[in-house]
Amino acid sequence: MSVLPFPVEDRYYRFSQYLRQQFGERVYRVSLDAGFSCPTRDGHLGTGGCLYCNNRSFSRDRANNLTPVKTQLIQGIEIARKQHKADKFLAYFQAYTNTYGSIKELERLYRSVLDVPDVVGILIGTRPDCVDDNILALLNDLQRETYLSVEYGIESVYDKTLEWARRGHTFKTSRQTIDKTKNLGIHVGGHIIFGFPTESRSEILDSASVLNETGLDALKIHHLHVVKKSTLADLYQKTPFPLYNEADWIVLISDFLERLNPNIVIQRLVGDAKPGTLITPQWTMKKTQILQKIHSELERRQTYQGYFLNIGI
């Protein structure tokens, strides 16, 4: 059996543990909204956004002018110190597509957070079709100065799903962009969604081996949920389809983790949404409990992330 990067009793490679391994202490992500748009919203690829998306379900409200990114970060750090007892922080460019701008503007924004006290790095969430060679060169420069991780919205390894979700890119694009980023030595995370009506349970589990082959360093797993003011909300109202219930999600994620490379850091195992934005399924409002139940299920099985890879099945 290969050596696990996490204690077997943890059952999977937690992001909190990875950060402690990197920095030697507790580190907390502070989410930022830099005011970016997205090619599926600004007319480049569409105007309605991805089928399931309403950024207001997890990010700040843009009804008023955005606070400067540096100010957002400083305010977020003050809150995180009190609520999460953290001493070091990562500036997380999260909302919308955070490489969707000119090189000059991107560099200005990224560098604006580097001199904030106790900030030890940057996380950048973006789309794989919104990173070109010039942006990669900028990211390569930044990683020489600070910790840097790029999170790509893969969403699915199946093109039929990406087309249904109006994503605007293929899985091949995700794979190529991940390869280019990894070749520069940049830490790469991915975001994936399970529960699309276009995918069977077996296809979801098969996606573990596909993701293993990408060489991802980290992964966020989100269930498909329906939030208000999304195109999916209108579609679901007209033609409802099955969504995962709590018990089935716990079993699915446990099965998936057993097949996933144990060196991939797990940043999320269930999605969440701001109060008042979620239509269904409502069980996902109990995020902490869900995580505890996933851990308990793996403990009951006496398995862990990468179990089937380690025993050669």
Residue spans of the domains in the chain: they are: 8-310
Report the candidate in 155, 152, 149 with the shortest Cα–Cα distance to residue 18.
149
* Average pLDDT estimate for 207-212: 98
DSSP state of 102: -
Q: What is the pLDDT of residue 202?
A: 98
Q: What is the CATH number of domain 8-310?
A: 3.80.30.30
Say how far apart CA 250 and CA 238 lie, in whole Å: 28
**Which pLDDT tens digit goes with each residue over 138-189?**
999 999 999 999 999 999 999 999 999 999 999 999 999 999 999 999 999 9
Whole-model pTM: value is 0.92
**Which helix or strand (DSSP H or E) is residue 152 part of?**
strand 147-155
- Say if residue 237 is exposed, middle or buried (CB neighbours under 10 Å; 0-12, 13-18, 19+): exposed
* pLDDT at residue 49 greater than cutoff 90: no
Residue 230's CB is within 10 A of a number of other CB atoms, namely: 23
Mean pLDDT of 76-102: 94
How far is CA 132 from each of CA 105, 116, 176, 219, 281, rounded to the nearest angstrom? 15, 28, 11, 22, 37
Q: Is the pLDDT higher at 96 or at 275? A: 96
Q: What is the pLDDT of residues 214-252, one digit of tens each?
A: 999 999 999 999 999 899 999 999 999 999 999 999 999
Q: Which residue has the higher pLDDT, 262 or 312?
A: 262
Which is it for the CA torsion 84, 88, 91, 92, positive or negative?
A: negative
pLDDT bracket for residue 54 (50, 70, 90): confident
What mean pLDDT is reported for the chain? 92
